[in-house]
Structure 1
Amino acid sequence: MTSTRSTFSLLVTGSNGLLGQKITDLALQDGQIDLIATSRGENRHPVSTGYRYIDLDILDKQRLREVITQERPDVIVNTAAMTHVDVCEQDPAGCRRLNVDTVEELVALCEELGIHFIHLSTDFIFDGQHGPYAEDDEPNPLSLYGQSKLDAEHLIRQSSCKWTILRTILVYGVVADMSRSNIVLWAKGALEKGQPLNVVNDQWRMPTLAEDLAQACLLAAAKGVEGVFHISGEDFFAIDELVAAVADYWQLDKSLIKQISSTTLSQAAPRPARTGFHLDKARKILGYAPHSFQEGLAVVDRQLRAKDAKDKN
């Protein structure tokens, strides 16, 4: 990756997650980035050299301040969040603590120490009535999760630190040590087992390959850009079409996919019907160039084969 800054130090929160691990991969490939990966518990990334890992529970404010003031990175990328939409609805206090209060703490540290703060947000800040969305379209979240992410955005926008907000949609991918699944792996796994799938046909998204989102994070850090950017894949699908595309790619039985209406689901939180993003700003300013969904599935397939081969040895 061509960096505008030749070298810089980057601290990542939530580095054990899918996006966090992909940022670690790309930072190691780049070779110019002094990476500090932080997450709760032991490091899940298979490579432990070439960067530093710090066990950090970011809900521990004192420990968070200790680590940030000691490391003094040039850039922080905050990937840590409560992203289970229904769990946020059922645990509003926990959702607020991680998605809003922690952001407030990070922003204050970035203001104090002159750190560039890059934060991940979501298409769920929109109500889904007018998608695909541009960066300056009016938010109207339907869920506590969406509201918590919008509240965090407001905090960041009001701050005096250098900041970048990257909003994204339905991230998929594979890492060596998965803490949770995603829509592509869920659909592939269930169809391979011959399990019938009920999939909604009245919600539309633009799924995002984790590598593309990680690349956008590093581009924003290297170029030092500020503002809000929409980052997703370029293909627009109804969820049932997305799952059918997964079935087609791995030649699985599409007759197992049953289309249903989201109104038949008893989910705690409502979902926006039609999101999707306009990507022009990210392409122009960041040089963002996402994979197509077919190319993304090929990346996942390659990585799953490599993982299987390694597990067999």
Structure 2
Amino acid sequence: MRILLTGSNGFLGQKFCEKLSEYPKINAVLGISKSENRNPYLHENTFQQLDLMNFEALETVISNFQPTHILHTAAITAVETCEEKPDLAQKINVDLSVHIAKIAQQKNIHYTFLSTDFVFDGLHGPYQETDEVNATNNYGRTKIDAEKLISASNPESAILRTILVYGAIPDKNRSNLALWAKKQLENGAAIKVVSDQWRMPTWVDDLADACYSAMQKQASGIFHISGNEMMSILEAVEVIADTWKLDKSLINPISAGEIGQATNRPLKTGFILDKAEQTLNYKPTPFIVSLQKIEEQLKKYNS
């Protein structure tokens, strides 16, 4: 397996490269990102700085590297950015993703694309892959459009939807729910946490494993990848506080409406994981266990 990885500086991109030693069938990886390499697991001969919107340069890189698989993690995932810059969101999340899918189809390269629970409106969660999509924000709409166009132009693609990804990598500039809550509470800072949105948070290590499995098995179609425990974001943060023995009195519940998220975020998502468990041998790590492993990882990164 020769993997071309877009978004190699990103959270999932860095984690995937960190775990390469666990993925025995991969013999080459080339990471590409618009900015300079920040991935500690990639080096001069395994990274190329590239603006993915330069389609001609992208096709040259693909022709030269000759990947067997493309893992496309690059995206604009910030909901507010997608609302404020719809043209950019369209170009990155839809046009680019579909362009790569078409190249992969032409060159017989397996394609894995990352999507989101935000394709759903949150009124009927948890969801299975065949449930009707209906996004409440432009980010979700761009992912719906990309999914449909990718499925049409490259039916052999694997589309992995995921939820509220958290975890640890050496890059301290990349934060997420678990590390943000831990850091704020350790510093004695009061935090406001939404109490009326429900999710099944996804450990980034599990998501990286699912990506490898989808590629290694040449999987096609849509797969739901997340944890298997439904919890409010408030409940998740309380477990995080308990794990690190932090002061829960600093956690202040707040409603989605109070921070302007009543209509532009789904209320309750969550996934039914049967398809991923059966087809990809996906086994989500229990939330508490993942937090304990994150503690071990943070010690290793800081040593």
Cα deviation, 1:275-297, whole Å, max 9, x if unaligned, reads: 00001110111000111101111
Q: Which amino acid aligns with 1:77?
A: L
Q: What is the match of residue 280 of structure 1?
A: 274
Question: Residues 23 and 212 of structure 2 are in contact (CA less than 8 Å); yes or no, is this contact kept in structure 1?
Answer: no
Q: Which amino acid aligns with 2:14?
A: Q
Q: State the secondary structure of the residue aligned to 1:198.
A: strand
**Change beyond 3 A, Cα 1:223–1:143:** same
The whole-number CA distance in structure 1 between the counterparts of 2:29 and 2:263 is 36
**Change beyond 3 A, Cα 1:49–1:93:** closer
Q: What is the match of residue 9 of structure 2?
A: 16
Instruction: Give the alignment partner of residue 25 of structure 1, picking from 18, 27, 44.
Output: 18
Q: Which amino acid aligns with 1:107?
A: A
Q: What is the match of residue 90 of structure 2?
A: 96
Question: Residues 155 and 221 of structure 2 are in contact (CA less than 8 Å); yes or no, is this contact kept in structure 1?
Answer: no
Q: Which amino acid aligns with 1:93?
A: D
Q: What is the match of residue 299 of structure 1?
A: 293
Gaps of 5+ in 2: none
Normalising by structure 2, what TM-score?
0.95
Question: Residues 75 and 117 of structure 1 are in contact (CA less than 8 Å); yes or no, is this contact kept in structure 2?
Answer: yes
Correspondence 1:91-240 to 2 at 5 A? 91-160=85-154, 162-240=156-234
Q: State the secondary structure of the residue aligned to 2:19.
A: helix
The whole-number CA distance in structure 1 between the counterparts of 2:277 and 2:78 is 29
Q: Which amino acid aligns with 1:253?
A: D
Q: State the secondary structure of the residue aligned to 1:158.
A: helix
**Change beyond 3 A, Cα 1:67–1:269:** farther
Gaps of 5+ in 1: 1-7
**Change beyond 3 A, Cα 1:269–1:109:** farther
Deviation at 1:115, TM superposition (A): 1.0
Deviation at 1:161, TM superposition (A): 5.3
The whole-number CA distance in structure 1 between the counterparts of 2:44 and 2:14 is 14
Deviation at 1:46, TM superposition (A): 2.0
Cα deviation, 1:260-311, whole Å, max 9, x if unaligned, reads: 11111135971000000001110111000111101111121111112222xx
Instruction: Give the alignment partner of residue 49 of structure 2, picking from 52, 55, 61.
Output: 55
Question: Residues 17 and 42 of structure 2 are in contact (CA less than 8 Å); yes or no, is this contact kept in structure 1?
Answer: no
The whole-number CA distance in structure 2 between the counterparts of 1:96 and 1:56 is 19
Question: Residues 206 and 276 of structure 1 are in contact (CA less than 8 Å); yes or no, is this contact kept in structure 2?
Answer: yes
- Pairwise CA RMSD: 1.6
Equivalenced residues, count: 302
Q: Which runs of 4+ in 1 moved over 4 A?
A: none
% same residue: 45
The whole-number CA distance in structure 2 between the counterparts of 1:86 and 1:277 is 24
Cα deviation, 1:107-142, whole Å, max 9, x if unaligned, reads: 121122111110000000000000000000000000
Q: Which amino acid aligns with 1:136?
A: T
Cα deviation, 1:117-176, whole Å, max 9, x if unaligned, reads: 100000000000000000000000000000001100011110145201000000011111
Normalising by structure 1, what TM-score?
0.93
Question: Residues 17 and 41 of structure 2 are in contact (CA less than 8 Å); yes or no, is this contact kept in structure 1?
Answer: no
Question: Residues 69 and 113 of structure 1 are in contact (CA less than 8 Å); yes or no, is this contact kept in structure 2?
Answer: no
